[in-house]
Amino acid sequence: MAAQRIKYGDIMSLVLLFNIGAFSLLTLSQKPLDTNAILLGGIISLIFAFQYMVFTLFLKRTDKLILVLISFLASVGFIAIYVLDTSLLIRQIEWYLIGFVISIATIVFLRYFLKYIYKYKYLYMAATIGLLLFTLIFGKEIGGAKNWVTIGRYNFQPSEFGKVMLIFALASLFSEGKGFKHIIIGGAFTGTCLIFLVLQRDLGAAMLYFLIYVILMFISTSNLYMTLAALGVGGLGAFASYHLFGHVKVRILAWRNPWADITGGGYQIAQSLFAIAGGSWVGVGLGNGRPNDIPVPSSDFIFSVICEQFGLIIGVIIIIIFFIIILRGVSIALRATEEFYSLVVIGTVAMIALQAFINIGGVTKFIPLTGITLPFVSYGGSSMVVKFMMFGILQAIYAVNEQHEDKLRRYPLEER
């Protein structure tokens, strides 16, 4: 364990050097010197160091590698957001701190109550549907989707918090049973969520909810026929969305050939590709280029901004980091002592992985755009807070695994 702490501490030191170095370059790139850059960079580095210290000293049974990797993702996001808009970075730091506190609360809560919460599937279902129904009635429309709720000066997306409830609901359901009845109940619940999301025109979230249901159903039941049937129904839904929603058709056409309407429907993806290509392997340099020419650069297209500023090298590193987080999550799931814990971890990791794939795939024209944020990197309060909640869930179950394995090591086999 000591060797691991030294190893992860060294990686965290590199993250801090990267963060300070980038903000120092931003400071020196302006005349007169941009003192805001070094000040904010210093604050962010202190937050990272304090966060690592809390986990090292007080939450020892946690996966430090995931913590360090998330810190790097957030650092790259902070730097890109600063290049775009300093005021947005200040708000993002606020959200990051809130998310950090919530992750600690999640870890502490689940460590003590995880073994009691596996059986409340209908409560989780009701909470998920309630959040989506509340948004449909009281939400406001931003960017063409009625999926936002405003409280004071803050806007948030209840569908983001619904993702956590969805995972717990399906994990509870499929850990209880794997028969046709449970598949139908899970399908009916997920289908109800999809109806509300479609009515809100939040089709990106609808796709995520559907895919999480399919993944958890297949992993828990191994029923290939029902999985294929669900995918078939999802395909029909996608086909219907193409014909029912004009903006979906525009995005599909832009994905197929953005150059045919480069000043209209294809403008977003064209500017994204220009930025990625312009950055090449080593980037144009922090503060250079034309990142604000990309539509919605701080959230949906932040990966394009990063590739332009830092180059494809950092873009590839980000993709590798998400793969490592996935592998660590799968390891936690395989070591879990209860099926419910395992399904919760798989659902959580799948949600993070799908969001990363859909975001990066969309801005690189690998798949059609959906307007989904890049976890821990994009600007956005709801997304950052919920991803930290998911981070807390992974760490809590990791701690339970460690505690169980410590007990097994403490007692000889013949005494168990």
d(CA 6, CA 271): 43
Length of the chain: 416
Bond into 32 cis (ω within 30)? yes
Letter string b/e over residues 111-139, b meaning 16 or more CB atoms within 10 A of that residue's CB: beebeeebeebeebbebbbebbeebbeeb
Write the pLDDT tens digit of every residue in 12-31. 999 999 999 999 999 988 78
Of the listed ranges 259-263, 325-329, 394-398, the least confidently predicted one is 259-263
**Out of 115-119, 136-140, 169-173, 306-310, least confident range:** 136-140
Cα–Cα dist 415/228, whole Å: 47
CA distance 176 to 182: 8
pLDDT at position 412 = 56
Query: Most confidently modeled of 57-61, 157-161, 208-212, 270-274?
Result: 208-212
* pLDDT, the chain, mean: 87
According to the model, what pLDDT value does residue 411 have? 66
Predicted pLDDT of residue 401: 87
* Contact call for residues 350 and 62 (beta carbons, < 8 A): no
Q: How far apart are CA 387 and CA 375, in angstroms?
A: 7
Residue 327 pLDDT exceeds 80: yes
What would the pLDDT profile of 302-316 be if each residue is shown by its tens digit? 999 999 999 999 999
d(CA 90, CA 85): 9
- Are 160 and 386 within 8 A, CB to CB? yes
**CB count, 10 Å around CB of 98?**
14
What's the pTM value of the predicted model, to 2 decimals?
A: 0.91
Pairing between β-strand 145-151 and β-strand 140-142 as defined by DSSP bridges: antiparallel
The predicted-structure confidence for 331-378, as pLDDT tens digits, reads as follows: 999 998 889 999 999 999 999 999 999 999 988 988 888 878 899 999
